[in-house]
Structure 1
């Protein structure tokens, strides 16, 4: 029997206001093909199905079209909620989806029996644990110290999972037990795209060793970089890059092979790269040359993070930077995060004035002239800036000849 573990899809994600819907469509198409080709029996999705609590109609359409496709694959599905998901949105169609062999647990339930999902035909039990919110784990007590609160959360997480192992031992010990979770486990590596990453688990320094014994495998979500914490505790990671900090991370889904009720093998199956994220840094001339030589080779348009760094302030560099962005508007890639920095651009205001001089004693022209004097500019540029300043002063009526 084969089980597929994935998480952190973040359908609806926008990268610097650029939609990743096409990336998700290609991933879900590939995932559907993979499930059919490798005859996957059970798909586990460990939280953060959507990027926001109120997904758009386009995001919901992607999600439901994928689930509809699985109805012909004879693949059972378990979906749990993450910290980005709305429990109400996930749970709303769960009674209908149950008839399609799709189980959804959007939030923690009062009785663990409701979240211990039994697949008797597979001799399998799944502890479908979603993202646990603070209220699910403890009640703050006045006068508690930080260490007390941390220990309370740590014990709350462990106790939550112990309910499942205890119930399993009492009633279903002949079933293989797989746990799911959406939390931070101490010691993992995170990326820029993981928000509120320490909210549950991190505060308590919850470690891999704190999970109770009894689980044959723990399918985790919340961390976007795939990581192996032990032979049986793993993060699948996100299937697509969700930030530029993830641009070099491998992307996988994990395939579990069960033999005689035990996990015989866990294989990382690489997700095809449909889009590159690239980051270029250098002076305006260096970046310009790099972009001219670069060609996108992926199916979807490459997204580029651009950071031009110049040693000294020069208005002409700003003009050239704008020209660069216009020059590559129709390239085979798209610049979505441009930035221009001058290393010595700003000085503290008090460095521009003589000791004992208050800025309130100066008129706008005095401030601007001293700012000009602090820069190394040629005479033509200085005159151009001064003329522009005079025009602005007249337009906004800030000219005070007798301060």
Structure 2
């Protein structure tokens, strides 16, 4: 039996306002071909299917078009919700999708039987654990310390997995048990696009050792850099580069092979590099020269980040920087993240963001993190403020995800 582990598709993602719709279309076409060619029995998608809680019609079309293509190819699908996903959006069509061999677990429920998925013909049980929000794990108690709250979250995550394991042991002991998850596990390396990952799981310093024993494999999502945390715990990473910091990261899917009385065999399947992401750093003259010599590669238009650094403030440098951007507007690449900084400029309150960075390009979490970094606060205080912000942000997201009934 062959299983594919993937996560963090982020369909609908825009890289500094540049849509990556074509990247996702080509990736999903490639994935469909791969599933047919390698005769995959089961596809696991461990969260963050979409980039936003309210995906565009174009993003939804790509998603449903891919699932439709799998009809008839004998590949089952399990999809869990991530922190970017709206549980309502994912769960809405799940009863219809069930008839297409697609199982959706958009959010945690009180009954773990809802997310322990049984595939008798594959001799497999899947603990399809989605992103666990703070409200799923514990309630704050007045007077609790930061360490107490962290321990409550850590134990809440462990107990959630333990309940699935107990049900498996009680009723399905003969089946191989896989787990899924969308969380930060201590020791994982993050990219610049994930610097804000200190939410549920992260603040609690949840580690591999906190997962209960009994799972044959844990397929994780949330971290975009693929990595092996232990023999049984792995992040597949995102299949596409989602930030310039990921441009050198390997991108792949994990093919898991199950054979009787043998450990899970894991094979890395690299995804195609569809688009080149490049960063040029240096003085204005150095960057200009590099752009003139640059030869773009890849199926799709190359996207560039410019970090121009000059030692002293000079208005003429700003004028020349604008001229540079106009000069290369019709090149066979696109500059989507230009930045000009002067080393001697004081970083005042209104300069928390580098020249060339539009606050509209940043998420609310990124804005808060930059503001927090500007304060001289000790680490526990920063952690408490960030935790409070995450709770407020989750409440706002959930309020938008579930509009009031009329």
Taking structure 2 as the reference length, the TM-score comes to 0.84
Deviation at 1:264, TM superposition (A): 3.5
Deviation at 1:326, TM superposition (A): 1.0
Partner of 2:324: 324
Partner of 1:218: 218
Partner of 2:239: 239
The C-alpha deviation readout for 1:48-74, integer Å capped at 9, x for no partner, is 000000000000000000000011211
CA distance in 1, matches of 2:25, 2:261: 34
Partner of 1:70: 70
What are the residue-to-residue correspondences of 1:2-401 with 2, within 5 Å?
A: 2-194=2-194, 196-260=196-260, 262-346=262-346
Q: 1:102 to 1:300 in 2, by over 3 A?
A: same
CA distance in 2, matches of 1:182, 1:261: 28
The C-alpha deviation readout for 1:165-220, integer Å capped at 9, x for no partner, is 11111111110100000001011111122264121111111100000011000000
Q: 1:104 to 1:195 in 2, by over 3 A?
A: farther
Q: 1:22 to 1:347 in 2, by over 3 A?
A: closer
Question: Could you tell me whether the CA contact under 8 Å between 2:311 and 2:344 is conserved in 1?
Answer: yes
CA distance in 2, matches of 1:199, 1:263: 33
Q: 1:245 is paired with a residue of what secondary structure? A: helix
* Deviation larger for 167-176 or 260-269: 260-269
Partner of 1:401: none
The C-alpha deviation readout for 1:360-393, integer Å capped at 9, x for no partner, is xxxxxxxxxxxxxxxxxxxxxxxxxxxxxxxxxx
Point out the structure with max Rg over C-alpha. 1
Partner of 1:355: none
Question: Could you tell me whether the CA contact under 8 Å between 1:296 and 1:302 is conserved in 2?
Answer: yes
Structure 1 unpaired stretches of 5+: 349-403
Q: 2:194 is paired with a residue of what secondary structure? A: coil
Question: Could you tell me whether the CA contact under 8 Å between 1:217 and 1:263 is conserved in 2?
Answer: no
CA distance in 1, matches of 2:67, 2:195: 27
Question: Could you tell me whether the CA contact under 8 Å between 1:106 and 1:130 is conserved in 2?
Answer: yes
The C-alpha deviation readout for 1:29-85, integer Å capped at 9, x for no partner, is 111111011110000000000000000000000000000001121100000000000
CA distance in 1, matches of 2:325, 2:72: 47
Deviation at 1:136, TM superposition (A): 0.7
* Deviation larger for 252-261 or 88-97: 252-261
Question: Could you tell me whether the CA contact under 8 Å between 2:216 and 2:264 is conserved in 1?
Answer: no
Number of matched pairs: 349
Deviation at 1:92, TM superposition (A): 0.2
Partner of 1:377: none
Deviation at 1:90, TM superposition (A): 0.1
CA distance in 2, matches of 1:276, 1:40: 29
Q: 1:346 to 1:213 in 2, by over 3 A?
A: closer
CA distance in 2, matches of 1:142, 1:225: 37
Question: Could you tell me whether the CA contact under 8 Å between 2:275 and 2:302 is conserved in 1?
Answer: yes
The alignment's C-alpha RMSD in Å is: 1.4
CA distance in 1, matches of 2:117, 2:240: 28
Q: 2:192 is paired with a residue of what secondary structure? A: coil
CA distance in 1, matches of 2:275, 2:29: 15
Taking structure 1 as the reference length, the TM-score comes to 0.85
CA distance in 2, matches of 1:311, 1:156: 51
Q: 1:35 is paired with a residue of what secondary structure? A: helix
Deviation at 1:322, TM superposition (A): 1.4
